[in-house]
């Protein structure tokens, strides 16, 4: 006969052994998964096994896990009273079923929030891809002339543009001072107009663009016109976006209104419809477009469909002609656009991975609980089958309590998940609404996962031979 203390230390030793094996397997999994994780995050995380700090953290974690995994089971299994076992009460006066059910609810709360988060992030990224930014970014290739060109920038830029236009696989070419995808050139207090409040000095995005910029980018005009090639008057003409007109509180008619920008006096010749000039994390700000060729070192080419490789080869050849001593760097505008949301895409992928892991852990817990419940009710199930209960009846009988647990976890997790995802969506100036549809879909997925998990054990118990289950009664 085992003494109580002997049983206690036996369970403690078994738990420590299991914890040590788990630690070894964890380190092995980290070693195997670390390259993939680094590829996703574009970081260089490593596993420094020779670090004292690492082993200190692992030791504390191992000890904590050991305590959580061993003390309660050891006390329970070494000190139980048979009568209390039949009543389902532990030595700590806590219902076993309540404790287990609480863990299932907690696990599915986490799983549901991660599933909902994955759906909302994916929907937001799809929204970004499908939302019209106000220009057509496909088939666009851009590059910048180096600063070494110096005061010859205007003439070199014009010459490069003409050579590019001579190629048959290029539709349009435009020059500007920066990319339309991520405009960063700004000025403060550099603009004046009639009726301006002298205390109002707005921060303005400034874009120097040539006559072909609108056609190349496929921008849309709200009123007025774009620059025309060879129009001397356009050298001192300005084009505003819709936001600038609203922010400056300009009264109609806007076209023809005098404007002073960066010390140059001219007039407004057109208003272009708003376009996303930064990422959708930020609101569209006021943009003033001016016509000064000295600023333009950024060249954008619209290639014919399917001819991007040939266009790149042509650009490389022309680059070597004018700036042979500098390496050429080019980018596709759609890739540059996607780069603005790379961190969001990485977050989406990581949350998806964690959601899968959480769902698997929750499903395993639910599977074990269902198996335990089915084992406890073996005699009851046998009697019910003898009395005429069908497989469907018994499956429903076992499954309904677990489905209720998942529903409870969904009710608890929904407001928390809604709050967390709304906080994340607030990082975007333009975003979807985290409405009930996505949370309903996340709840449906969680319920299906739970139902599939529980049904296996429920059906298995329901189709068992009642004679075997009642033989020992």
CB atoms within 10 A of CB 407: 16
In which residue are the tokens 């998964």 written?
A: 33
Token digits of residue 222 = 């709200």
Closest CA to 252 of 271, 236, 279: 271
Q: Which residues contact 96 (CB under 8 A, 6 or more apart)?
A: 88, 89, 90
Q: How confident is the model at residue 455 (pLDDT cuts 50, 70, 90)?
A: confident
Q: How confident is the model at residue 214 (pLDDT cuts 50, 70, 90)?
A: very high
Q: Which contacts qualify for 149-153: CB closer than 8 Å, 24 or more apart? A: 149/297, 149/323, 153/294, 153/296, 153/297
Range with lowest mean pLDDT among 46-50, 197-201, 332-336: 46-50
pLDDT confidence of residue 72 = 63
Q: What is the pLDDT of residues 366-399, one digit of tens each?
A: 887 777 777 666 677 777 777 777 777 777 777 7
Closest CA to 85 of 98, 75, 70, 95: 95
Q: Please state, in angstroms and as integers, the Cα–Cα distance from residue 398 to each residue in 90, 157, 368, 381, 450, following that order.
A: 23, 76, 13, 9, 12
- What is the DSSP secondary structure assignment for residue 95, as one 8-state letter? B
C-alpha 276/C-alpha 183 separation (Å) is: 9
pLDDT confidence of residue 218 = 94
CB 189 within 8 Å of CB 177:
no
Residues listed for the chain:
473
pLDDT confidence of residue 74 = 64
pLDDT confidence of residue 209 = 93
C-alpha 119/C-alpha 138 separation (Å) is: 27
C-alpha 209/C-alpha 254 separation (Å) is: 20
Number of H helices, E strands in the chain: 14, 12
What kind and span of H or E run contains 117?
A: helix 96-130
CB 145 within 8 Å of CB 320:
no
CB 205 within 8 Å of CB 285:
yes
Q: What is the mean pLDDT of residues 172-184?
A: 90
Q: What is the DSSP string of 373-441?
A: HHHHTHHHHHHHHHTT--HHHHHHHHHHHHHHHHHHHHHHHHHHHHHHHHHHHTT-SS-----HHHHHH
Is residue 92 predicted with pLDDT exceeding 50?
no
Q: How confident is the model at residue 94 (pLDDT cuts 50, 70, 90)?
A: very low
pTM recorded for the entire structure: 0.74
Is residue 86 predicted with pLDDT exceeding 70?
no
C-alpha 210/C-alpha 236 separation (Å) is: 12
Token digits of residue 296 = 């333009």
Q: What is the DSSP string of 225-278?
A: ----TT-GGGGGEEEEEHHHHHHHTPPSP-TT-EEEETTEEEEEEEEEPP---S
Q: How confident is the model at residue 357 (pLDDT cuts 50, 70, 90)?
A: confident
Q: What is the mean pLDDT of residues 208-237?
A: 92
State CA 3 to chain mean position distance: 56
Q: How confident is the model at residue 174 (pLDDT cuts 50, 70, 90)?
A: very high
Closest CA to 103 of 369, 371, 378: 369
Is residue 1 predicted with pLDDT exceeding 50?
no
pLDDT confidence of residue 343 = 82
List residues bridging with 443 in a β-sheet.
none
CB 142 within 8 Å of CB 179:
yes
């Amino acid at each position: 006969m085992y003494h109580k203390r002997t049983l206690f230390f036996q369970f403690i030793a078994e738990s420590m052994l299991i914890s040590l094996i788990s630690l070894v397997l964890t380190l092995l999994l980290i070693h195997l998964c670390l390259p993939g994780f680094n590829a996703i995050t574009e970081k260089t995380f490593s596993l420094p096994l020779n670090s004292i700090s690492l082993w200190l953290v692992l030791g504390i974690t191992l000890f904590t896990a050991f305590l959580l995994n061993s003390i309660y089971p050891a006390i329970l299994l070494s000190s139980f009273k048979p009568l209390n076992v039949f009543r389902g009460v532990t030595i700590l006066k806590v219902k076993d079923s309540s404790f287990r059910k609480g863990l299932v609810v907690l696990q599915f709360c986490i799983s549901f929030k991660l599933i909902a988060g994955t759906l909302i992030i994916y929907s937001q990224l799809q929204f970004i891809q499908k939302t019209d930014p106000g220009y057509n970014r496909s088939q666009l290739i851009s590059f910048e002339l180096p600063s070494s060109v110096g005061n010859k920038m205007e003439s070199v830029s014009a010459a490069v543009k003409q050579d590019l236009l001579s190629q048959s696989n290029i539709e349009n070419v435009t020059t500007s001072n920066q990319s339309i995808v991520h405009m960063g050139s700004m000025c403060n207090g550099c603009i004046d107009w009639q009726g301006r409040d002298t205390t109002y000095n707005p921060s303005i995005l400034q874009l120097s663009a040539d006559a072909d910029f609108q056609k190349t980018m496929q921008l849309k005009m709200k009123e007025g016109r774009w620059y025309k090639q060879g129009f001397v008057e356009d050298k001192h003409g300005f084009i505003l976006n819709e936001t600038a007109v609203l922010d400056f509180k300009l009264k109609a008619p806007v076209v023809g209104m005098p404007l002073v920008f960066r010390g140059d006096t001219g007039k407004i010749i057109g208003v272009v419809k708003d376009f996303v000039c930064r990422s959708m994390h930020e609101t569209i700000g006021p943009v003033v477009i001016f016509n000064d060729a000295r600023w333009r070192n950024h060249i954008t080419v619209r290639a014919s469909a399917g001819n991007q490789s040939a266009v790149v080869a042509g650009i490389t050849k022309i680059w070597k002609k004018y700036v042979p001593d500098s390496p050429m760097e080019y980018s596709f505008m759609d890739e540059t656009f996607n780069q603005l949301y790379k961190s969001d895409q990485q977050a989406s992928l990581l949350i998806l991975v964690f959601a899968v892991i959480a769902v698997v852990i929750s499903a395993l817990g639910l599977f074990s609980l269902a198996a335990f419940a089915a084992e406890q009710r073996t005699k009851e199930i046998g009697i019910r089958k003898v009395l005429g209960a069908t497989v469907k009846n018994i499956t429903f009988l076992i499954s309904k309590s677990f489905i209720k647990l998942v529903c409870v976890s969904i009710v608890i997790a929904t407001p928390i998940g809604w709050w967390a995802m709304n906080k994340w969506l607030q990082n975007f100036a333009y975003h979807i609404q985290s409405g009930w549809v996505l949370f309903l879909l996340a709840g449906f997925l969680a319920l299906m996962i739970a139902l599939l998990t529980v049904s296996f054990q429920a059906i298995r118990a329901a189709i068992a031979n009642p004679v075997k289950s009642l033989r020992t009664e």
